[in-house]
Amino acid sequence: MIGLAPPYSTFFDDGRQRFLKFEDAASGLGPSYNATSCGGCHNQPSIGGVGNVAVIRAGVVHNGRYEAPQGGDLVHLFSIGDYSCQPQIPADANNLSHRIPTPLYGAGLIEAIPDSVIRTWEDPTDRNGDGIRGHAALVMDPATHTMRVGRFGWKAQQATLLAFAGEAFRNEMGITNDLFPKEAATGLSAEQLAACDKVPDPEDRADPKTHLRGIDDVTNFMRFLAPVEPLPLTEDRRRGMVLFSHIGCASCHVPELLTGPSEFPALDHKSVNAYSDFLLHDIGTGDGVEQGAAQGNEFRTSPLWGLRFRKRLMHDGSALSPSDAIKQHRNESERSRQSFDHLDTPDRQALLEFLGSL
């Protein structure tokens, strides 16, 4: 937890409990779902981290455009009741993609970065000629109905933790809420969904005592979750850090951004060492899925803080080490990957040492 005084420390504890709560059909779970608690997928190396699951999306790519089937492209793994609402991969789906969870440590700091700070790093027309064309993911915030710079999720599809919480409650557990009031599951009609799940929408109701909804509770937990501190810099790691900038990794994995004003001292004008510009890039790992402002070939620059606690890397978990992940970098990151390939062994080792200290 970041430095917090009461009552916020209580909000954090209550939020953590809600994050861990096992949902069931009576509390709105389903009709179809991927897990029964937020903690089910965000638990390694501690609550708020990552998990072993990968979620599935099935869509149809038609004339170069991605289309989600009726009910959306989420193929839930499980369903309640008699399985009459178990989503199946639709017959005409020709684009199947997998995504692993992202960690939530330091999420409140990421949220507190002003849109304008992220936008200063945009260069969609490559004015500086470095081959990198990052652009901000402009998305609609479902709570305020304003356009904001998305920064959460592999496609930077949400701008705030409340919005992500709302989408996760609905997408991962089938719990509808004020921000995402309609059930979604691939191939299922609204009528089928209504027949399988008898709890009236929105299912996430405010607690009569605290007046907080589930989405507010888990937002408090995530907002106040402390970032992972890097290991101390040794001589090798320091050299690796310099090389990281020198070969252009830091052009996307930006080492430091600043938060704006915040009512919480721990989030107010703080540096955020997430190693990301939170922009969308094409590095040749596209999954075909168009989501929020992201094209099928684009992803948010992955934050690298806390890297040493993760095993699976890249959106689909297809890399099992930082060097595996670097090998997949192409297109906008072609030059920096080539420079990495050309490093001599001690330099490459120093760079990997540095990454392993994050």
Under the rule (CB under 6 A), what is the footprint of ligand HEC? Answer: 34-35, 38, 40-42, 53, 55, 99-102, 104, 107, 132, 152-155, 161, 164-165, 168-169, 172, 218, 222, 247-249, 251-253, 281, 283, 285, 299, 301-302, 304, 313-315, 322, 325-326, 329, 332-333, 336-337, 340
The distance of closest approach from Cβ of residue 191 to ligand HEC in the complex, given in angstroms and rounded to an integer, is 26
Tokens at residue 235, please?
């001589």
Residue 22: exposure state from Cβ atoms within 10 A (0-12, 13-18, ≥19):
exposed
Closer by beta carbon to ligand HEC, 195 or else 226: 226
Closer by beta carbon to ligand HEC, 104 or else 267: 104
Cα 316 to chain centroid, rounded: 12
Provide the 10 A C-beta neighbour count for residue 169. Answer: 25
Per the CB < 8 A criterion, the answer to whether 48 and 104 are in contact is: yes
Residue 322: asked if its preceding bond is cis (omega within 30°), the reply is no
How many CA within 13 A on the CB side of residue 86?
9
The distance of closest approach from Cβ of residue 133 to ligand HEC in the complex, given in angstroms and rounded to an integer, is 8
Distance CA 107, CA 222 (A): 6
The distance of closest approach from Cβ of residue 92 to ligand HEC in the complex, given in angstroms and rounded to an integer, is 22
Closer by beta carbon to ligand HEC, 124 or else 189: 124
> Which amino acid, residue 204?
D
Closer by beta carbon to ligand HEC, 93 or else 281: 281
The distance of closest approach from Cβ of residue 190 to ligand HEC in the complex, given in angstroms and rounded to an integer, is 22
Provide the 10 A C-beta neighbour count for residue 67. Answer: 14
The distance of closest approach from Cβ of residue 245 to ligand HEC in the complex, given in angstroms and rounded to an integer, is 10
Placement of tokens 């070969």 in the chain: 247
**Which residue in 229, 236, 181, 235 sits closest to 203, CA to CA?**
181
Cα 2 to chain centroid, rounded: 20
Closer by beta carbon to ligand HEC, 195 or else 246: 246
The distance of closest approach from Cβ of residue 136 to ligand HEC in the complex, given in angstroms and rounded to an integer, is 14
Output b/e per residue, 214-237; b: 16+ Cβ within 10 A: bbbbbbbbbbbbebbebeeeeebb
Closer by beta carbon to ligand HEC, 93 or else 162: 162
Per the CB < 8 A criterion, the answer to whether 96 and 105 are in contact is: no
Distance CA 162, CA 214 (A): 10
The distance of closest approach from Cβ of residue 177 to ligand HEC in the complex, given in angstroms and rounded to an integer, is 9
User: How many Å is the Cα radius of gyration of the chain?
Assistant: 21
Closer by beta carbon to ligand HEC, 28 or else 322: 322
Distance CA 157, CA 110 (A): 14
Closer by beta carbon to ligand HEC, 189 or else 258: 258
The distance of closest approach from Cβ of residue 270 to ligand HEC in the complex, given in angstroms and rounded to an integer, is 17
Closer by beta carbon to ligand HEC, 41 or else 267: 41
The distance of closest approach from Cβ of residue 172 to ligand HEC in the complex, given in angstroms and rounded to an integer, is 4
